[in-house]
Chains A and B, each alone.
Chain A
């Protein structure tokens, strides 16, 4: 085996590990003054890494097929890195608090460990590798959720998250063991040709799906979501809702298409049911939420349902629209979470819908940015969210899922209603005690500018979609 190809095909993983080590050393060695620029250093390193690994190289495999590299993987991985970078920028204000200042390094190392785990999930060519990646993405995530461990909510959320994660991992491992039992292999490539759809394999498919459904938070595997999102620090919530979810959705697509190709009818049925449930149930719950972090949890579940519309056809158009959807969703959701998090920082923890009454009067710019993000999430033209929704609908429609598309369209009406509730609160509803006017810090401003540019431009610049489309592959 040629070990130099580790540095070409695994360059994303290698560079990320290097960053991890660098930040670890920085945390150990940097003095009080240097630590003030921790966020800048970390974000800059991540940005460099994203740019350096974004350009696709020729596909290949390592370690006898344990690890795969496809050009599309490079795009998705650097997309996730950008997401993580924006989260780091938005976390700065919170990390400077007295309670968390001393463990700023931990935050980066935990975050980047989960990111590394997602990289391995994406690149895996063997179920063992996949499972290690999954666990690497899950266990540090629980630590992140419980990062404010002296706050009851955070600790409780961490406990719930790790318990549910363990449960789903166990179920998934059980399913994988069925697969090993029926096919005698754990390599993706070999397994695809040996699967024949026996009852045991159907069970394996569902258990495997449930494990990933947990990460993507699809109904009925979603119940941890609201509690964890609400309890976790806001920066972690946005990381969970965007990066973690996007990675898992992409992995679901590739494994279903690659490994479970012979069982396409079965997993399409599962996806059909789960998609309808996710979009509808999440919308119904979102209608009644007052805590905006909880609200965003249900919004993210229904958005996950829309992402499944891209998966269900299994076509290469589906993959394009999936990656594009994740990209746009990332921009819009991080814009909303950026505002939520900075408001929480500056107002002493106000995150309820009622707290946002009269927000436009006191903080007009943030209100406009938040509105843009919400409009994009709701899919109102000409914002990027409209185009991404259009593409996933078109992908599902082209694969013949007319009823599903119709149900999803109906649900966009409901979602429009609850997204506009926030807009209404900000602009119309008056308030006795509005959130006071404040100035956002530099890092938040950069992150919001990036997100807003994404919301405004991604849909209109067709080169983005075309570029992703050139690398896509499917059934």
Chain B
């Protein structure tokens, strides 16, 4: 497995090459270089997964944790050191497959979508950098390496969101994403330092004795780390950056904001899962409540958005909430007794990555066709873009949880885990699943059926996307159709032992019924040309509608707190103090120094007699001083 290092080095090489020499290449050549490298990396990832899982389980019935490469990078003290390396275990291998697949699809798709854009080469360089960082994050051998790549992911997503750097909204969005996630990362870093200080190592699996010695500090450390994870995974109230990040190119949204970066927080919790279960189950349950609330909040907001990428952004937030909930409701690491959620969460991460990337890429094709994100410019597009229409429908059915699409299987496992935790949690999550089906089909009908904007379409006839864009759609749609039948529990489970997924009949029926009800409601309200029910509802509950449309004013609250409270009450006085008192003192010091230099210049008169007098008086002065001291 020594070749796994190439999985990191090839994208890095791609980034360096395209970043340094890209502008000298023709755009298509640069794209081809990036895509070819990504293709090789994808094959390597598949080969890794194949050899890893086919090597089989060890004597204790779990897949072994391999470290094909590891080096001490920064020794801090005897035991405490920061390593860089590659760790292979079921979830990291699974993530490698997910990231490389989605990234390759996005690379191919961007050929069509970004054609003719300024900075095409730069775009591919950033994609390579992002892929490298994300891969480094998932194969990290210790929490500090994870943090390093975590920040690299943040930087590269900043670069990608702000790709259209001439657009003020894109700049603002990239800054917002970076600042909000950096703010959350502060919690992560403090958590890591607390963890490193009390356990004396940065490894994921410290020994039992060190854990006992660390005692009560582990829950605190894990809680702080979750803050970082919540920032990257857009958990309420740190979600505000994700909808704005839709200003980036759509394929970037598919890569970063659907499949990879935003699930980093979920991956972090899964990575620390043994510690959560062992030392801090109560913290784990807190994450479940945060996840559930986020899922509900985002689903409600998604129901009234009119920008299709924003609907998808909120649906992503909501679905990540599902994953976090699934992890949070675990009560033990035995998948048969309270540990099902772990497997369900990873399974949902896997299926969601595929169908959400499909949705985003489909949305990209639509935006490509009508040159707008607004639903009002769409409607009736099924006639113009049949391929996009079908693949989009597949993804909508999957996310709604309709059998036999992949989302059904993973969501069913999550709901089963929730019902096992508490009936309330189960019912709430089932209701949110119904809401999901409703808003996804509202989106679907709004784009492909419903009120058609005939004037616009007559003026500029929408067209199907080129092959480079439809190919990824077809591949991802195929994956979405079959992924549910993967015996996922055989590969990933909470304690590593094989677990056979069995569908709980009651829960499955319930979730199917709710999903169908949601779809039916959406069909009744939005499928036709005239939508009296929807309009009347929006009018009757105009307050609620407006609040939800404005995302319940969370952004405005942030704005108020940062501008009116922090900037006005703390930053402005501090700036005044800095400018007038600190700078003033330093200026005074500098002026004093200069003044002193001016005053003593007379000593250096140029006359040798004076020099000798100074010389002698210096010597005599020192002598007298010494004699006096004695």
Please give the residue numbers on chain A whose beta carbons come within 8 Å of chain B beta carbons, in ascending order.
159-160, 163-164, 167-168, 171, 197, 199, 202-203, 205-207, 209-210, 214, 219-221, 223-224, 226-227, 266, 269-270, 273-274, 281, 284-285, 287-288, 414
Contacts and interface: CB of A to CB of B under 8 A. Distances in A.
A153 to B, nearest CB: 12
A220 B614 contact: yes
Contact of B596 (A164, A202, A284): A284
Interface string B599-630: 01101101010111011111100110111011
B307 to A, nearest CB: 47
B72 interface: no
A284 B599 CA distance: 10
Contacts of B597: 284-285, 287-288
B594 interface: yes
B541 interface: no
Contact of A287 (B594, B612, B619, B626): B594
The 10 A-B residue pairs whose C-beta atoms are closest, nearest first, are A220-B618, A223-B611, A284-B597, A210-B619, A206-B623, A206-B622, A287-B597, A202-B626, A167-B612, A163-B608
B384 to A, nearest CB: 59
B604 A273 contact: no
30 contacts: A159-B608, A160-B611, A163-B612, A164-B611, A164-B615, A167-B616, A168-B615, A171-B616, A203-B623, A206-B622, A210-B622, A220-B614, A220-B617, A221-B615, A221-B618, A223-B603, A223-B604, A223-B611, A223-B615, A226-B604, A266-B626, A266-B630, A269-B625, A269-B626, A273-B625, A281-B600, A284-B600, A288-B598, A288-B601, A414-B593
Contact of B600 (A202, A214, A285): A285
B452 to A, nearest CB: 62
Given A164-B608, A284-B600, A285-B597, A207 B625 contact: no
A270 B615 contact: no
B593 A284 contact: yes
A226 B598 CA distance: 16
Contacts of B616: 167, 171
B598 to A, nearest CB: 7
A266 B625 CA distance: 10
A207 B616 CA distance: 9
Interface SS of B by simple majority: helix
A163 B613 CA distance: 13
Given A223-B604, A223-B611, A226-B604, A207 B619 contact: yes
Given A163-B608, A202-B627, A288-B598, 20 more contacts: A164-B615, A168-B615, A171-B615, A171-B616, A202-B626, A206-B619, A206-B626, A209-B622, A210-B619, A221-B619, A223-B610, A223-B615, A224-B608, A269-B625, A270-B622, A274-B622, A284-B593, A288-B594, A288-B597, A414-B593
Contacts of B617: 220
Contacts of B630: 197, 199, 202, 266
Contacts of A274: 622
Contacts of B600: 281, 284-285
B622 A273 contact: yes
B627 A210 contact: no
Contacts of A168: 615
Contacts of A164: 608, 611-612, 615
A148 B600 CA distance: 31
A207 B622 CA distance: 10
- By size class, the interface of chain B is 20 to 34
Contacts of A163: 608, 612
B618 A287 contact: no
Contacts of B623: 202-203, 206-207
Contacts of A199: 627, 630
Nearest to A220: B618
A214 B606 contact: no
B379 to A, nearest CB: 60
A270 B594 CA distance: 27
B594 to A, nearest CB: 7
B432 to A, nearest CB: 55
Nearest to B595: A284
Given A210-B615, A214-B615, A270 B606 contact: no
B604, B612, B615, B629, most chain A CB atoms within 10 A: B615
Contacts of A219: 618
B453 to A, nearest CB: 57
Contacts of A209: 619, 622
Contacts of B611: 160, 164, 223-224
B376 to A, nearest CB: 54
B618 A227 contact: no
A287 B593 contact: yes
Nearest to A208: B619
Nearest to A224: B611
Contacts of A210: 615, 618-619, 622
B583 to A, nearest CB: 15
Contacts of B614: 220, 223
Contacts of B601: 285, 288
A273 B623 CA distance: 12
A281 B612 CA distance: 18
Interface in B19-76: none
Contacts of B625: 269, 273
A197 B598 CA distance: 40
A110 B603 CA distance: 31
Nearest to B590: A417
A16 B612 CA distance: 34
Contacts of B604: 223, 226, 285
A266 B627 CA distance: 9
A419 to B, nearest CB: 15
Given A206-B623, A210-B619, A223-B614, A160 B596 contact: no
A270 B618 CA distance: 11
A207 B617 CA distance: 11
B590 to A, nearest CB: 8
Contacts of B593: 284, 287, 414
A167 B608 CA distance: 10
Contacts of A167: 612, 615-616
B602 to A, nearest CB: 11
Contacts of B622: 206, 209-210, 270, 273-274
B619 A171 contact: yes
Contacts of A414: 593
Contacts of A202: 623, 626-627, 630
A269 B621 CA distance: 13
A132 to B, nearest CB: 22
Contacts of B629: 269
Contact of B626 (A221, A226, A270, A284): A270
A159 B607 CA distance: 11
B603, B616, B619, most chain A CB atoms within 10 A: B619
A445 B557 CA distance: 65
Nearest to B616: A171
A226, A266, A274, most chain B CB atoms within 10 A: A266
A414 B617 CA distance: 28
Interface string B560-600: 00000000000000000000000000000000011011101
A252 to B, nearest CB: 15
Contacts of B608: 159-160, 163-164, 224
A214 B600 CA distance: 20
B604, B616, B625, B626, most chain A CB atoms within 10 A: B626
A223 B630 CA distance: 29
A418 B604 CA distance: 19
A471 B611 CA distance: 39
Contacts of B627: 199, 202
A219 B606 CA distance: 16
A467 B606 CA distance: 43
Contacts of B615: 164, 167-168, 171, 210, 214, 220-221, 223
Nearest to A159: B608
A214 B623 CA distance: 16
Contacts of A206: 619, 622-623, 626
